[in-house]
Amino acid sequence: MTADQALKSKHRAMWAMGDYAAVAAEVIPSLGPLLAEAVGAGPGTRVLDVAAGSGNAAIPAAAAGADVVATDLCPELLDAGAELARRRQVDLTWQVADVEALPFGDDAFDTVMSCVGVMFAPQHAVSAGELVRVCRPGGTVGLVNWTPEGFIGQMFATMKPYAPPPPPGAQPPPLWGSEAHVRELFGDAVTEVVAQRRALRVEVFPTAEAFLEFFKRTYGPTIAVYRAIAERPDDVAALDEALLDLARRHDTGGGAMDWEFLLYVGRIR
């Protein structure tokens, strides 16, 4: 197994941990429909959702009438999404695929999108190149990603000292939430860009402790970090307290938090 294959296997296993479908459905359900609407998904459009997870954006796009292919590195997440789509009586295609090496021809889609997904692929420029390659000239690229300064970006910064070192060449996921970084990644390939920082109101955690328990149980990256320090109880306690402090600082009252994200929509030149 090559180093790249080993890394992909590790990422696949990480996202299979816990229950990301619960995060998508219970914590961030509005992000997917927002992105599907922003890219104009509808009848007559062929849409690719990369790093689609359980279909938070793919299912609303298909429900709006688009011909959708949802891809992800993790088959378990696609299985969860397929079940959700079946229950909602929405038809779309589910396919295991790596965003850094998409198994589609050039100019194959009218729209390529990703909802807090592509940001977790380690090689940002490679992923951006693939998004451009498979989207036709004049087509739409649409992304929602957590910003470095927002709650989730700060959560990753908080966990970083406790996590194993990233592989060589891997870039931090929240960089995809920086407009300057995304513009640099796409360069002249994408034009007519509209980029907006927005806030997602999260009101499902009455306390900081409720947030921490949920993320330690459901969210793959959090689970992976805690597993890495499981034999170091002092580090576990320190990370617990750091994440609780983060949640308390973002509490706007009654457990409500605003999680900042970047909505980016552009057109392939």
What integer pLDDT is reported at residue 54 of this predicted model? 98
Kindly state whether residue 220 falls inside one of the protein's structural domains. no
CA proximity to 112, closest of 75, 80, 69, 63: 69
pLDDT at position 5, please? 85
Q: Is residue 45 part of a domain?
A: yes
Question: Is 234 within a domain?
Answer: no
pLDDT tens for the 269 residues of the chain, in order: 688 888 899 999 999 999 999 999 999 999 999 999 999 999 999 999 999 999 999 999 999 999 999 999 999 999 999 999 999 999 999 999 999 999 999 999 999 999 999 999 999 999 999 999 999 999 999 999 999 999 999 999 999 999 999 888 899 999 999 999 999 999 999 999 999 999 999 999 999 999 999 999 999 999 999 999 999 999 999 999 999 999 999 999 989 999 999 999 999 99
Q: Is residue 23 part of a domain?
A: yes
Q: How many domains does the chain have?
A: 1
Q: What is the reported pLDDT for 191?
A: 98
Residue 96 forms part of a structural domain: yes
Q: Does a structural domain hold residue 44? A: yes
What CATH number did the domain enclosing 78 receive? Answer: 3.40.50.150
Range of the domain at 42: 3-203+258-268
| Residue 2 pLDDT | 83
pTM over 0.85: yes
